[in-house]
């Protein structure tokens, strides 16, 4: 089955609407594991108090909140996301921000931003270079773009410890060509996309955070309920035996991250900045 970008986006929007609450309380809002990047991203963007800031695919507003805390009375913050459920939380989270329901691939804004931020979303856009080019056209000359993405499958074992055993048994779990969370895990791919969009002065910095996933049973149930929510039904449709095999292999792979009975995963994150000159 070929990957259909329109269906992919519709499914993704539905999934983020449903997951927004758990995502906020368990991950982004709690600043857990990879979300320690929020502060690093906002620091890298060197926001001034009067800036006009755009948070692209703002989700539940973790980055917006941190960015807004750096602004003075004349500064403004706009967040866009296509998931209404996530935006509702963002509005509660950052009452002084302006949040708009919008597809990042069809930005209907006429504005000129000093800073554009994007955390853990670039890899999900079917045409990321087009989005980046459009974002650049919405920035002031001298403005700065800053983004965070996940590292490679090897650098983010939280995803790959379960996903590799799934893919081994169900290689077509996602249609061929579907964007993956690791799409910009190689810094060269991220740099190339930024160059193709016309940005200059590109810097990519790697951070390694820890993520405490608890006992294997906690990790498995949390992963299935959140990260794998969109594919869970397809995994379960393969039958109990396949699910048990996937679980057993994942547990074996998780052993190397076990410390005193609990899993501690390293988590590679890339923080990029790029200028619009
Ligand atoms: C992993 S979350 C990151 C949210 C937020 N940036 C954060 O750091 O918590 C990914 C977000 O991207 C949004 N998203 C994905 N594709 C999008 C698109 N084409 N347009 C707008 N939002 C999109 C999802 O709705 C979701 O809120």
Does the C-beta of 4 come closer than 6 Å to ligand 1?
no
Other residues' Cβ atoms within 10 Å of the Cβ of residue 210: 15
Residue nearest to atom 13 of ligand 1 (CA): 57
Q: What pLDDT was estimated at residue 2?
A: 81
Residue 163 C-beta-side C-alpha neighbours within 13 Å:
19
Distance CA 153, CA 275 (A): 28
Identify whether 241 is part of a domain: no
The two tokens of residue 112 are: 């000129």
Distance CA 272, CA 11 (A): 28
Q: Which atom of ligand 1 is nearest to the CA of 35?
A: 8
Identify whether 77 is part of a domain: yes
Write the pLDDT tens digit of every residue in 189-211. 999 999 999 999 999 999 999 99
Does the C-beta of 99 come closer than 6 Å to ligand 1?
no
Does the C-beta of 125 come closer than 6 Å to ligand 1?
yes
Identify whether 233 is part of a domain: no
Distance (Å) from CA 223 to ligand 1 centroid:
18
Residue nearest to atom 1 of ligand 1 (CA): 120
Choose which residue among 19, 68, 81, 87 to substitute to test ligand 1 binding: the one with the highest number of ligand atoms within 8 A of its C-beta. Answer: 81
Identify whether 75 is part of a domain: yes
Write the pLDDT tens digit of every residue in 161-200. 999 999 999 999 988 889 999 999 999 999 999 999 999 9
Q: What pLDDT was estimated at residue 186?
A: 98
Alpha carbon separation from 105 to 36, 62, 127, 269, 277 (Å, rounded): 27, 21, 8, 24, 23
Q: What pLDDT was estimated at residue 3?
A: 87
Number of domains in the chain: 1
Distance of CA 235 to the CA centre of its chain: 23
The two tokens of residue 49 are: 């108090």
Identify whether 239 is part of a domain: no
The yes-or-no verdict on residue 11 having pLDDT over 80 is yes
What percent of the chain is helix, strand and coil (3-state, nearest 5)?
45, 25, 30
Identify whether 69 is part of a domain: yes
Identify whether 245 is part of a domain: no
Distance (Å) from CA 122 to ligand 1 centroid:
8
Distance (Å) from CA 240 to ligand 1 centroid:
33
Q: What pLDDT was estimated at residue 153?
A: 94
Q: Which atom of ligand 1 is nearest to the CA of 38?
A: 8
Distance CA 95, CA 241 (A): 49
Q: What is the mean pLDDT of the chain?
A: 96
Calculated CA dihedral for residues 150, 151, 152, 156, nearest 10 degrees:
-80
**Structure pTM?**
0.95
Residue 271 · residue 41 · CB < 8 Å: yes
Domain with residue 17: its CATH number is 3.40.50.150
Identify whether 192 is part of a domain: yes
Does the C-beta of 8 come closer than 6 Å to ligand 1?
no
Write the pLDDT tens digit of every residue in 216-272. 999 999 999 888 988 899 999 999 999 999 999 999 999 999 999 999 999 999 999
Does the C-beta of 123 come closer than 6 Å to ligand 1?
no
Look up the domain containing 97 and give its range.
5-155+179-212+267-276
């Amino acid at each position: 089955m070929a990957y259909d970008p329109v269906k992919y986006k519709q499914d993704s929007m539905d999934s983020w609407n449903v997951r927004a609450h758990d995502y906020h309380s368990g991950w982004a809002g709690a600043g857990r594991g990879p979300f320690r990047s929020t502060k690093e991203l906002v620091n890298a963007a060197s926001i001034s108090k009067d800036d006009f800031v755009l948070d692209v695919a703002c989700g539940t507003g973790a980055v917006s909140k941190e960015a807004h805390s750096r602004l003075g009375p004349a500064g403004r913050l706009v967040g866009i996301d296509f998931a209404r459920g996530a935006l509702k939380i963002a509005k509660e989270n950052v009452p002084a921000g302006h949040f708009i329901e919008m597809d990042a691939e069809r930005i209907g804004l006429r504005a000129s931003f000093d800073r554009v931020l994007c955390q853990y979303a670039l890899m999900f856009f079917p045409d990321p270079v087009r989005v980046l080019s459009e974002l650049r056209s919405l920035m002031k000359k001298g403005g700065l773009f800053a983004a965070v993405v996940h590292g490679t499958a090897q650098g983010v074992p939280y995803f790959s410890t379960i996903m590799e055993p799934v893919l081994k048994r169900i290689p077509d779990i996602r249609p061929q060509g579907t964007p993956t969370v690791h799409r910009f895990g190689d810094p060269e791919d991220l740099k190339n996309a930024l160059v193709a969009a016309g940005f200059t002065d590109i810097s990519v910095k790697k951070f390694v955070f820890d993520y405490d996933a608890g006992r294997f049973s906690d990790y498995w149930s949390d992963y299935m309920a959140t990260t794998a929510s969109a594919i869970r039904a397809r995994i379960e449709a393969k039958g109990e035996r396949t699910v048990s095999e996937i679980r057993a292999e994942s547990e074996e792979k998780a052993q190397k991250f076990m410390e005193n009975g609990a899993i501690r995963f390293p988590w590679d994150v890339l923080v990029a900045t790029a200028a619009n000159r």
